[in-house]
Structure 1
Amino acid sequence: MIVHFEPPSEEGIASVVRSASAERVTLSIVGGGTRTGFGNPIRADRTLSTRRLSGIVTYNPAEMTMSALAGTPLSEIEAALDAKGQMLSFEPMDHRPVFGTSGEPTIGGVFAANVSGPRRYVAGAARDSLLGLRFINGRGEVIKAGGRVMKNVTGLDLVKLLAGSHGTLGILTEVTFKVLPSRSAAATVVVSGRNDAEAAAVMAEAMAQPVEVSGAAHLPESVRGRFVAGALPEGAATVLRLEGLADSVALRAQRLSGALARFGPVSQLDAAQSKVLWAEIRDVKPYADGTMRPLWRVSVAPSAGHQLVAALRLQTGVDAFYDWQGGLVWLRMEADPEAELLRRYIRAVGGGHAMLLRAGEDERARIPAFEPQPSAVAQLSERLRASFDPSRIFNPGRLAAIA
């Protein structure tokens, strides 16, 4: 039976780590447990959760910064920000639908996995909002890096390094991050009936317009019906989000609609419909199907996404839709993950990386979940991991130090 620890304090977590290091036992590091089943299986002797290390430490709306303990539920963070008309700019995904898990996403887990949603390609990733942190290394030492304002760059590289390390370098105990004013209004311009290649041209044209598009996605006919039942017109949907003040959004939506009319039928979704649609895009609703069919998160150049999918469809059963102007491709394989084929085709279209987000236990055990690193980068990652966690007690089996 695996022993489970949930210390309520930073020192309690550090004490567990020091004991584990002395005894040479391994630890599986978890927050809210919402990403159970992600990545290569972790084979650990004990589980250490930050769930009880919870609470907002400081929040200064005027300076648009917040500090919170790592186990603070994301819902608590978002509620506090919403009360002051502010938000997390990077729109973090909720992984529970695609994994079929329960629990509560935590702010520490968001930054540990660098979780970023549809706004990422214009607002930056989660790590770009992270100003400072406290963490515990593999020796059980508490380390502070960064600060509460952007101009304080002390330890900034360390801050960026921990974000996206998936619990392989240290255990986050407190995070300090910047926030932004909420967008008071939103609308989505929809261009209907375009195939994947045509949609890439539509999104490129939209991004070239001076209208500040904050979301650009393409939903092929195979998935369109699984989004916002009844709200999207018939046919594949290329969707462009506009946010800001109501009058500005209305004017920009009109201009964008006019600029895109030559591509095909154009319609609009209102603020309420837009909110639902982009939350479903963020949370990959079409593939939250209660199965463990292999699901890949693929990042390539925006112009290459549709080429990659077209090549794969000639060889294997695959379903897909596109976010980040086509640069983020969500791929669900019908049977085998086809990792070798996928990664070979990614190289053929100019490069990128593929993360196996979900698969059965056997597939996760045999396929590298993260893109294999070039030799020099892999050696650097190993040296970093040896420096932060010399006894290799954190998340054994997780193959990437940085994502």
Structure 2
Amino acid sequence: MHTPSTEAELAEIIRDADAPLAIRGGGTRGVDVVGTLLSTSDLSGITLYEPGAMTVVAHSGTPVAEIEAALTVENQRLAFEPMDHRTLLGSMGEPTIGGVMAANVSGPRRISVGAARDFLLGVRYVDGMGNVVKNGGRVMKNVTGYDLVKLMAGAHGTLGVLSEVSLKVLPCPETQATLVLHSLDDTAAVAALAKALGSPFEVSAAAHDPAEGQTLLRVEGFEDSVRYRIDALQKLLGGESMVEQDSAARWAAWRDVDGFADAEEDIWRVSCKPSDAPALAAKSGATAVRYDWAGGLIWLRAPTGHAVRAALGDYDGHATLIRGEGQSRFEPEAPGVARITAGLRTRFDPRCILNKDLMG
């Protein structure tokens, strides 16, 4: 096991490696990769925080909780509200900011502010040959040349090992409230969520829980504005509804898919067109379903070993196995995409030693 505490040590380990390396941050997502373990947990610490510029820079192994604590002091936050996988997967460790960015982990607020990668201003990383690379900076600007920042977000450590990230942060809202609609079927719920997102009332999260018969719309901001927008959404959508004024705990649990943690079944995460979501869920063979991102993200709990991808058939999207064994974690790539991926891998990790075979 390798545990570098500096970027130079990280580069040396990768440069001298003669066998595959399994890259791990906090180890909370339960991903097993063949190779010698390379942990970034000792590459830790906030190196720069400028509240006025709404920018924070941290080593990749810095716990997310440490960053959130520092931001809270200045009434700021990671607006993309990254999921904590520990409850769902029964894993240990601490989520790290490098792991979050490497997997592009984005929560319910993605529909209103964007994904984790949209807040990534700059990166430092070590490629598969042991070269230290820097891309981006500490301010948002037009990209010239290769946008390696966005490329590293979602690459799951297969193109390089992050050593430092620079992030944009946002102020915390004064308050939030959740409009809860009752007794809508899946199709009607997704239609209501789409109608709410198409309104001018700035919904920050839109979800549907068939098991509870609840359709959820979160609004954030100044108190008077939140009250006005919640009232307007109630008038727009009609039907039986209620308003939760203190809904932060509900959305934290929803973000982490806590309701699926107890059953010993496979967990799938399906990205799709929101309008396709009810039909996909119906034919998936899942025993439980949750809709997030107004239907653009479906969480499925399915019998162990059930071939969810085969059940879904052809559609515009992809399915990722979050918890389970015996099936590929990531959706097989189309031939054209696979050629692009192989080309990138050849350029960034020609020896194919970083998280080998993780993504295909």
TM-score relative to the length of structure 1: 0.87
Task: Give the structure 2 partner of residue 357 of structure 1.
Answer: 322
In 1, Cα distance between the equivalents of 2:135 and 2:245? 42
Task: Give the structure 1 partner of residue 354 of structure 2.
Answer: 394
How big is the alpha-carbon RMSD for the aligned residues of Structure 1 and Structure 2?
Answer: 1.4
Contact 1:147–1:154, Cα closer than 8 Å, also in 2 = no
User: Is residue 325 of structure 1 aligned with residue 326 of structure 2?
Assistant: no
User: Is residue 368 of structure 1 aligned with residue 331 of structure 2?
Assistant: no
RCO higher in structure (CA 8 A, sep ≥6): 1
Classify 1:68/1:333 alpha carbon distance in 2 versus 1 (closer, same or farther; 3 Å).
same
User: Is residue 35 of structure 1 aligned with residue 29 of structure 2?
Assistant: yes
Pairing partner for 1:258 from 235, 240, 245 = 235
| Aligned partner letter, 2:26 | G
Q: Deviations over 1:228-272 (max 9, x none)?
A: xxxxxxxx00000000011111111111112222xx21101112x
- Classify the secondary structure of the residue corresponding to 2:288: strand
- Please state how far the C-alpha of 1:155 moved relative to its aligned partner: 5.5
- Please state how far the C-alpha of 1:51 moved relative to its aligned partner: 0.3
Task: Give the structure 2 partner of residue 61 of structure 1.
Answer: 51
Q: Deviations over 1:361-390 (max 9, x none)?
A: xx1xxx222122111110110111111111
In 2, Cα distance between the equivalents of 1:84 and 1:337? 47
Contact 1:214–1:242, Cα closer than 8 Å, also in 2 = yes
Contact 1:86–1:180, Cα closer than 8 Å, also in 2 = yes
Alignment length (residue pairs): 360
Contact 2:304–2:324, Cα closer than 8 Å, also in 1 = no
- Classify the secondary structure of the residue corresponding to 2:215: strand
Task: Give the structure 2 partner of residue 140 of structure 1.
Answer: 130
User: Is residue 279 of structure 1 aligned with residue 252 of structure 2?
Assistant: yes
- Please state how far the C-alpha of 1:15 moved relative to its aligned partner: 1.2
Task: Give the structure 1 partner of residue 217 of structure 2.
Answer: 240
TM-score relative to the length of structure 2: 0.97
User: Is residue 15 of structure 1 aligned with residue 6 of structure 2?
Assistant: no
Contact 1:146–1:154, Cα closer than 8 Å, also in 2 = no
In 2, Cα distance between the equivalents of 1:341 and 1:389? 32
Classify 1:378/1:305 alpha carbon distance in 2 versus 1 (closer, same or farther; 3 Å).
same
Contact 2:112–2:202, Cα closer than 8 Å, also in 1 = no
Pairing partner for 1:183 from 173, 176, 179 = 173
Contact 1:98–1:290, Cα closer than 8 Å, also in 2 = no
| Aligned partner letter, 1:17 | I
- Please state how far the C-alpha of 1:290 moved relative to its aligned partner: 6.2
**1:120-135 alignment runs, 5 A limit:** 120-135=110-125
- Classify the secondary structure of the residue corresponding to 1:134: strand
Contact 1:145–1:155, Cα closer than 8 Å, also in 2 = no
In 2, Cα distance between the equivalents of 1:382 and 1:343? 27
Structure 2 unaligned segments of length 5 or more: list them.
none
Name the % identity: 48
In 1, Cα distance between the equivalents of 2:348 and 2:233? 49
127-136 or 202-211: bigger deviation: 202-211
- Classify the secondary structure of the residue corresponding to 1:242: strand
In 2, Cα distance between the equivalents of 1:399 and 1:174? 23
Structure 1 unaligned segments of length 5 or more: list them.
225-235
- Classify the secondary structure of the residue corresponding to 2:274: coil
351-360 or 170-179: bigger deviation: 351-360
- Classify the secondary structure of the residue corresponding to 1:176: strand
| Aligned partner letter, 2:132 | V
Pairing partner for 1:115 from 98, 105, 115 = 105
- Please state how far the C-alpha of 1:164 moved relative to its aligned partner: 0.5
